[in-house]
Amino acid sequence: MKTVLITGACGGIGKTTALYFANKGWSVIATMLCLEEKKEFEPYDNIHCFALDVTSTASIETCKNDILLQFPKIDTIINNAGVGYRSFVELACDNEIERIVEINWLGVVKVCRAFIPVFREQKFGQFINITSIAGLVNLPLGSFYHSTKHAVESFSECMAYELLDFNISVTTVQFGNTPSNFQKNVVKSTTTSITAYANLMRKIDEVLAQKTKKNVDLKQSIVEELLQIAENPSKNFKRHTIGFDANFLHIARKRLGYQMFARMIRRSVFK
């Protein structure tokens, strides 16, 4: 039985992925900030829950040691934990900027750093780092979220070179908005009296809500693709873009160039 470790498994894509892998016969290590959120996993004998704060080196080390006492090997680690922050640069708060960087980027860095020695010792392993279409293109009000996802993309590609000789693969996965609790939990900048800012926030909220409602089948496509990646690790670094929205934006950005792509985005947002 293969074993997967998933961070941020208490909700959203993380929870759906944990359940899907478990139903496909994998042994699942589901990590979460608070173990009180594990109730949906309790009926499963092959889902094992551990408390983990990806922002804390001490928490990661404790969790790793506890896991290794129970599991002789880990085949795949899916770095899924993440948060959103939708804000104008001018109105951004230090604590929210620090929070999103610590979870979305440094959390991935710290988990990978902690488990690379485990993978080296067992002579195999796979990191699947979930980013977002935000890691490939840049869109309005994404200054902070997109920055962290771009950082994970760069980090993952660089790290892949280091790990080639150890049979450790690195993959990133990008997708667009999918119905989950992620968008509901996105932190936004405070209400502002600056008319242009207020109008832009309202428009972006509307666009994202419409896209999320349309992507009803995306979550299933994501977990199916994640399983395929986990069961067929690639020696070389790979990016996997899932869903029409993500693929369209990625291809459009590459083919149109910045100016034409920016014009397309402005028309869709400011029309």
Spell out the residues 6+ positions from residue 41 whose beta carbon is closer than 8 angstroms to its own. 18, 19, 22, 30, 47, 49
Strands (E), the chain: 3-6, 27-32, 47-51, 76-79, 85-86, 125-130, 168-175, 187-188, 238-242
What is residue 218's predicted lDDT score, i.e. its pLDDT?
87
**Cα–Cα distance for residue pair 115/204, rounded to 1 Å:** 38
Domain spans, the chain: 3-270
Q: What is the pLDDT of residues 126-167, one digit of tens each?
A: 999 999 888 888 888 999 999 999 999 999 999 999 999 999
Q: What is the pLDDT of residues 250-262, one digit of tens each?
A: 898 888 887 887 8
Q: What is the pLDDT of residues 5-55, one digit of tens each?
A: 999 999 999 999 999 999 999 999 999 999 988 889 999 999 999 999 999
What is residue 214's predicted lDDT score, i.e. its pLDDT?
63
Task: Name the residue with tokens 């397309």.
Answer: 264
Average pLDDT in the chain: 91
| Element housing 184 (H / E) | none
Is 197 designated active site?
Answer: no
Q: Which of 20, 44, 85, 145 is catalytic?
A: 145
**CATH fit for domain 3-270, picks 3.40.50.300, 3.60.21.10, 3.30.390.10, 3.40.50.720:** 3.40.50.720
Q: Does the pLDDT at position 182 exceed 70?
A: no
